[in-house]
Amino acid sequence: MIRLEDLYSFIESSFDFLLVADGNENILHISPLLLRTLSRDPQEEQGGHLSDVLEDESLTSFRKAMKRAAEGSRGVVAVCTGRMEKSIPIPMKVGYIESVSGGTNLFFGTQVDGLRKMDDWEREERIKELSCLYSVAEWIEVSQSISTFFTRLPEYLSRGVRYPEEAVVYSLYQGIEYGQEPAGEDFISVLLVINDQTLGEIRVGYISGAHELLPEEQKMLNEIGRMLSIALERKELSERMTLKQGEEEEFARKLRELESEVQERQVELDRQEQKLSTADSYLNRVNRSWDEASRRLETMFKAIPDEVMLIDLNRNVVMSNQESTETGDKCYRTYFNRDTPCINCRLARIKKDGTPITTTIRDEDRFLEVHALPVYNEDEQVDGILEFYRDITLEKTYEQQLQQADKLASLGQLVSGIGHEINNPNQFIRGNIKIVRQALEDMLPIVDEYQKTHPELKVARLKYDFFREHIMTLVDDMSHGSERIKGIVEGLRGFARKDDGLLIDMVDVNTLIQATARLVQNEVHKHAEIEMDLGEGVRPFTGNSQKIEQVLVNLIVNASQAIPDDRKGLITVLTRVEGDSIRIEVKDNGKGMDEKTMKSIFDPFFTTKRAKGGTGLGLAIAYRIIEEHGGTISVSSRLGEGTLFTIRVPAPVIDEQREVNR
């Protein structure tokens, strides 16, 4: 927090004498120069009572002045030095501050010569500013939180300007706004710099903007900003330490809960062990015929193609037809690798209703159809459940494939229709912009001549000189934007255009990459910038331009989606000639992939973005397209560093002389 000693030092840089006392006449601070003047040891500890440093006559004057100041009046009090036989009185200005800790009196004074040079109004304003500094510094110390401080800051800070009743104080800290913004641009401000980072700003002005702010008030605000920056840095550190302490307490609480749960589980295990011991004793008395029947039942049980588990009322696996399933453990841990029961536990539902349940659940990438049947004891009460698990992932995949195929079937028509709807109004814009430019070129010289005799001329509420300087730039920007819309629409049409799949185009990959970048710019620029390193002499190759463009769109969009949300990424597209092949690279500096993901990245319907609508078809289709062109596509990636896709497509050198002879 801000130390009051720093504030006292700042005040003493402007006044020779300073004395701060509370309502009980206890000394909160006294400047060393004043102590020496009062024949006191300047090295003695701060504190004490006014009666310890003042003569009786001065003490009486101080008490009267403190009373007047508390009632709203301000004046001057004289202090006798006592250093000579004939005391030299020191005039000091008296101020009163009502703060969160109670009333505080401030006594300011300068050497006698210096005091005469400062008129009453200037001394009054200076005392008001320093009183404001003291109030803000004390409020920094006692405020419970940063939000509380900024909420009540206007109450304290407005006291330091000439017209406090009309003052407004606006604060911005870490994106949160407090108070009311001053009218117009006539205000003083200071930036809040924490750890070399600008995190906020304070502005002080007036409601109407009719009053002028003083340079001294800007100095006062600068000092408050400096104190506040230090205080905020310490407050945030304190809050982080408090949060860390809370996290440690929460961790200790969870640890205690875990230990309690371990103990409960140990008791449960002991109980199960006792049950198993009883069951073992009972089974030893069972006739051998029952053993044979049990073996037959077990054989039939294991012959069931679906996975089957018998579960008791404590969610323990009693029996399973899978050799890999551990019996005696909890069903949710054994089958689903969880530490807690399922949210929609079938055992609990059957125990309550006593009716069978058939449902579909999802376990990571698998879909399971589960049939749960109640198991009754001799008293016709539910004693457990028997569950059958059938993997229906393939069926679900086929269902999703059909849905996705239907979406893809309408994609081309949708994109083509959107392009048509955009292109028509854009044609009007492009044509009209040319007419507007020609009209302005004809009109502006006439207006220039008129403006020479009418310098106050405004156009569109702008001064004519400013309007004249920028109007043609605005027209050029509109023209450029319209042309860009045209390029995007043409790219969409090319992407959505149906083709017969023949590899008969001469594919200029560098041109195709530039067109693709324009096509995806609107989606990619939110996450990353595209940098192109297109090699010279990259010759065309025989293929299908639309399909190659589809591959490039997929790779660039995927790269942009791999960039974390908290930063702007970079996507690099590179082309090079390598003998009879062309190498194309699409590289990003995003999140990267692990080994397991890279092995499945080209598998149909494998996706890491299913929650965001990913289908898992993009890279599978890209792999197939490059394979059709006789090329290869590979991937390399590291977690936290980014991903690189490399495409190599055959592009043999054509022997022109051999073609002529042929």
Cβ contact 402:396 at 8 Å:
no
650 pLDDT tier (thresholds 50, 70, 90):
very high
610 pLDDT tier (thresholds 50, 70, 90):
low
Closest CA to 79 of 98, 95, 100, 60: 60
Q: 206-244: b or e for each residue (b if 16 or more CB lie within 10 Å)?
A: beeeeeebeeebeebbebbbbbbbbbbeebeeeeeeeee
Distance, CA of 84 to chain centre? 68
168 pLDDT tier (thresholds 50, 70, 90):
confident
> Poorest-confidence range of 149-158, 206-215, 602-611?
602-611
648 pLDDT tier (thresholds 50, 70, 90):
very high
Tokens read off for 522: 């609107």
Residue 126 identity? R
Closest CA to 520 of 618, 406, 640: 618
Task: State the pLDDT at residue 531.
Answer: 93
Q: Give the C-alpha separation, 565 to 84, whole Å.
A: 75
Average pLDDT estimate for 411-433: 74
Backbone angles phi, psi at 163, to 5 degrees: -120, 80
Tokens read off for 78: 């004289």
Mention every residue, 6+ apart, whose C-beta is less than 8 A from residue 362: 368
Residue 625 identity? I
Cβ contact 207:197 at 8 Å:
no
Average pLDDT estimate for 488-514: 73
Enumerate the H helices of 94-142 as residue ranges: 112-117, 120-142
Q: Is the pLDDT of residue 182 over 70?
A: yes
**What are the structural domains, with CATH classification, of the chain?**
1-125 (3.30.450.20), 143-285 (3.30.450), 288-391 (3.30.450.20), 500-662 (3.30.565.10)
- Looking at residue 118, the DSSP 8-state letter turns out to be S
> Poorest-confidence range of 146-155, 260-269, 494-503, 616-625?
494-503
The mean predicted confidence, pLDDT, of the chain is 78
405 pLDDT tier (thresholds 50, 70, 90):
very low
Cβ contact 335:325 at 8 Å:
yes
Q: Give the C-alpha separation, 187 to 478, whole Å.
A: 36
Cβ contact 430:479 at 8 Å:
yes
> Where are the extended beta strands (E) located within 81-127?
89-99, 102-109
Q: Look at the alpha carbons of 496, 501, 504, 510 in this order and tell me if their dihedral is positive or negative.
A: positive
Cβ contact 460:467 at 8 Å:
yes
541 pLDDT tier (thresholds 50, 70, 90):
very high
Average pLDDT estimate for 150-164: 80
Residue 431 identity? G
Closest CA to 76 of 122, 111, 123, 35: 123
Q: Look at the alpha carbons of 411, 417, 422, 426 in this order and tell me if their dihedral is positive or negative.
A: positive
Q: Give the C-alpha separation, 14 to 11, whole Å.
A: 5
3 pLDDT tier (thresholds 50, 70, 90):
low
Q: What is the pLDDT of residues 630-644, one digit of tens each?
A: 999 999 999 989 999
Q: Give the C-alpha separation, 258 to 252, whole Å.
A: 10
Closest CA to 640 of 593, 601, 599: 593
Task: State the pLDDT at residue 643.
Answer: 94
> Poorest-confidence range of 183-192, 413-422, 468-477, 600-609?
413-422
C-alpha triplet 437, 443, 445: angle, nearest 5°: 115
Cβ contact 590:642 at 8 Å:
yes
C-alpha triplet 472, 476, 481: angle, nearest 5°: 150
Q: What is the pLDDT of residues 62-106, one digit of tens each?
A: 888 888 777 776 666 767 665 444 455 677 778 777 766 678 888
- Give me the percent of the chain exceeding a pLDDT of 70: 76
Residue 463, strand partner residues: 458
Higher pLDDT, 544 or 344: 544
Task: State the pLDDT at residue 227.
Answer: 75
Q: Give the C-alpha separation, 78 to 109, whole Å.
A: 10
Tokens read off for 514: 């530039």
**How does strand 176-179 pair with strand 187-194?**
unpaired
Task: State the pLDDT at residue 269.
Answer: 81
Mention every residue, 6+ apart, whose C-beta is less than 8 A from residue 464: 447, 451, 457, 458
Tokens read off for 105: 């009196």
Cβ contact 532:517 at 8 Å:
yes
Q: What is the pLDDT of residues 566-591, one digit of tens each?
A: 888 999 999 999 989 999 999 999 99
pTM: 0.33
